[in-house]
Amino acid sequence: MKKQKESAGGMKSSYELAMEKLRQKDSEQGLESAPLTDAQKEEIAEIRSFYRAEPAEREILFQSELKKARATGEAVAVATTEEHYRSDRRVLESEMEEKLRAIRSRK
């Protein structure tokens, strides 16, 4: 059940109330969020585009390597191939988040 609170603009949803609390908490900690510039938005879009395409390419390569590993009949080869793929995905995701964080932190 949603909690609601009356304000000058009417009723607020629990989501709106939670967001207000988070903004207030950030403000108390000195963390102010500034709107992104058009250049920052463009950079973010480019980064997201790249990091959507790159995993797709790696998925294709992974499927090919996985077929080869399965053809050998060695479970260790299959497990190693799968672990390398998962590791690559984590690295890509981490890189993307780091780049996005750097862009957002610029003023």
Per-residue pLDDT tens digits for 4-15: 444 456 788 999
Per-residue pLDDT tens digits for 34-51: 788 999 999 999 999 999
Per-residue pLDDT tens digits for 64-83: 999 999 999 999 999 999 99
Instruction: Name 10's bridge partners.
Output: 7
The Cα-based distances of 66 to 9, 79, 80, 88, 93 in angstroms read: 57, 9, 9, 14, 21
Q: What is the pLDDT of residue 30?
A: 65
Kindly report whether the global pTM for this prediction surpasses the value 0.75: no
Strands (E) located in 1-107: 5-7, 10-12
